[in-house]
Structure 1
């Protein structure tokens, strides 16, 4: 689906889980803005944002399982579109590295959010 629709569907999916509104990182804009100074292409993405959000219950389970999983908090999902692929967009997230109950809970939440967003909210 088009990036704008998927981005809105992701935000709706996060809200449907009862989570607070996400913090948005305008990643694509930052890359385009810094391209002249850093020497990379300005058009790596047509659109790219990272939505970060927190579930206290999931966070507590993650860090109870392994203290270093604090680095996963807040959880985040990227929504992006690539040049040359009009009408197509993608979702991506970091999977927890552990295999315990906390990681499984986080993975299940992320999968629900991605699935709901991909289905249009």
Structure 2
């Protein structure tokens, strides 16, 4: 799915997470470059950071499925994802302790939810 998103240019150019060859260092360089460009043009520069750690918990999966269909994902893939996130509880269990359902391999797809 990631290769489909990459091939079809669905990710924003400012999406650095979950992308091959990009890192937090690349994000930092991009950010600093934008600041310098704005300063050189005498523009006001504002920074805003957003914590998306709860995005999986609050995303409407119906809207996400519609977005995936809109971007051309095959029906079988969309149905598989809908089945995976609907009416299921998934967690990691180790030494008698269970994790919460924070994050998953689906996290990269929540960026196209916008």
TM-score (normalizing by structure 2): 0.30
Higher strand fraction: Structure 1 or Structure 2?
Answer: 1
- Which structure has the larger Rg? 2
If asked which structure has higher relative contact order (CA below 8 Å, sep 6+), I would say 1
TM-score (normalizing by structure 1): 0.29
